[in-house]
Chain A
Amino acid sequence: MTAPLGFMAGLLLLTLGGGVWVGFSLLSVGILSLEVFKNMKVDRFLAGDLWSSTTALELVTLPLFILMGEILFHTRLSENLFAGLAPFVRRLPGRLTHITVLGCTIFAAVSGSSAATTATVGRITLKELEARGYDRTLSAGALAGAGTMGLLIPPSIPLIVYGVLAEVSILDLFIAGVIPGLILAALFMSWIGLAASFRTGALPPREPSTSWGHKARALVKLLPVSVLIVFVLGSMYAGFASVTEAAAVGVLGGLVLAASEGQLSLTMLRKALGSTVRTCSMIGLILCGALFLSKAMARLAIPTDVAAAIQALELSPTLLILILMVFYLGLGCFLDGLSTIVMTLPVTLPLVLAAGFDPVWFGIFLIVTVEMAQITPPIGFNLFVIRGLTGMPLGRIAWAAAPFCLLMVGLVLLMVAFPGIVTWLPERLR
């Protein structure tokens, strides 16, 4: 195990550090490690995997939600959203920075993916926040962290995948994710409040106090965004659209909004589609690299060997979970979160169940670690999405996201100390 792992880590650092595109770097590590350490037809394996990964139906929401965000970017939605909320948050520490967390929490209830949540909410909020004088680093970090909640708050594709593989009720998993999701949102907002109060220049000067009449007029501005949310959420929860189709309903909603504002034009559509293609190409290449690398690792028996090594330690349950958290954090630095679940579950689930953990609890635990993987460098999809949105260097985005990653570690520790956070609600609703 150590030879392939060392080879992989070395080649990855060499190619990434040498400025090779992330996707090609990941692909090359997968290809070369299999060529060196395994006697097999790598080209055939790669082609089948590329075909299978790029047509994975779980990913269909991604281009659609990105397209929705790009269409909304050309409307006055974000302007109105900010103008509508501003009078109400002027006394809140951190003020409008919270919009990213709130936006992500709400959007997470529609979207089952983290990159889509980040891309859509980021497209709507980041520019407006910066224009209003808010600190870009803090908003980018908040977006990176909060964007991951698309996975924890139902619907969530990784939770469904986990439920099917572990034969756990997906309904229980969805319910179990709600309280940790809300705790996480609260943690994020508290941190934003704290950081904004202590960091000079993080916030623009406070908006002047306004009359109640003014506030009422502000509320009206929130109408379009509320209608849009109700439209998309409603289409799904009322049984009109599947989780995948809800993303298409979002595109339709965006188009209707744009038309009602007179912004709908061929030029606008061309621009929106062009940006969508750029973002999707960027994510697609990296995702295929990460997915293939995880398959290469499975064929080199790396997860099995690591799990066997962990099992041999005969740890106490708490220590086992903490070690697994480190294990998943490490994997998550380089791989896509969903593929780490698929790849490692057959070996880690029996360990965890034998240690007496609840499978629903472990599912939520896994999702939180997968969320962290979205924002840990060097391979963190939310970081890439935000880089695409802002052009900020990856290192700075990762640094901005670091506190939010630590807050997620905090949530895991809370879950270990108080498992009821996860298990209480589903048991209650049985």
Chain B
Amino acid sequence: MKILLKTIDALCVAGAVVAALCAAALAVILIIEVVATSFFAWSQPWAVEYSGYLLAATLFCGSGWTLRDAGHVRVQVLTNLLPPGAQRAADMLGAAFALGVACFASWSMVEYAVRSAGFGSTSVFPTRTPLVYPQGLLAAGLVVLTLGLLARLIRLIRGEAPETSGAEETHI
């Protein structure tokens, strides 16, 4: 079980690194685009298309890590009124519920990407990029988030702290 949790944590961190790199790449591509279009009358044929893909990766690849880092928002006004035991039970119930939703969403997205691969769907932009790659990246981000929820549920059941404390400092 320890190994599973460690593996999931490592995947979450890896996802966050991917998301960070994608955010950086997004900035770099668009800065180059400003220079290229303003001074060289040239446009990177991938700039607009890939900024969409990089956006998707930035939004979701680090989601599992953000969960572990207590970065996702939830309303705890009511659950905080409960006694500690019930609070833990509510926390588990919430995590299990979210895990169900996340499983459905990530399974849908994985299936979507797989079908794109099967059809050989490509983008309509000049790169004609096979869509399975960016869609697969988004699906991977969702799967990591789902695993993060699983890890959280396991930790709650084992009575461990589900989140890393000290949300101020980043870990990537």
Contact = CB atoms under 8 A, between A and B. Distances in A.
The answer to A–B direct touch (Cβ < 8 A) is: yes
Contacts of B101: 24, 27-28, 31
Interface in A312-363: none
Interface stretch (A116-124, A182-190, A270-278, A418-426): A270-278
Q: How large is the interface on A (under 10, 10 to 19, 20 to 34, 35 or more residues)?
A: 35 or more
A247 B30 contact: yes
Contacts of A285: 59-60, 63, 72, 145
A15 B97 CA distance: 9
Nearest to B116: A51
A275 B75 contact: no
Interface residues of B, number: 64
B4 interface: no
Interface string A28-70: 1001000000000001101110110011110110011001000
Interface string B12-38: 000010011001101101110110011
A248 interface: yes
A274 B16 contact: yes
B56 A43 contact: no
Do most interface residues of chain B lie in helix, strand or loop, or is the interface mixed?
helix
A121 B16 CA distance: 24
A248 B37 CA distance: 14
Contact of B170 (A15, A275, A394): A275
B165 to A, nearest CB: 12
A55 B73 contact: no
Contacts of A278: 62, 65-66, 69, 71, 170
Interface of B: 16, 19-20, 23-24, 26-27, 29-31, 33-34, 37-38, 48, 51-53, 55-56, 58-63, 65-67, 69, 71-79, 90-91, 93-94, 97-98, 100-102, 104-105, 107-109, 111-112, 134-135, 138, 142, 145, 167, 170-172
16 contacts: A16-B74, A22-B75, A24-B97, A28-B101, A43-B107, A55-B52, A55-B55, A56-B55, A57-B48, A63-B55, A244-B51, A245-B33, A248-B33, A249-B31, A273-B172, A277-B19
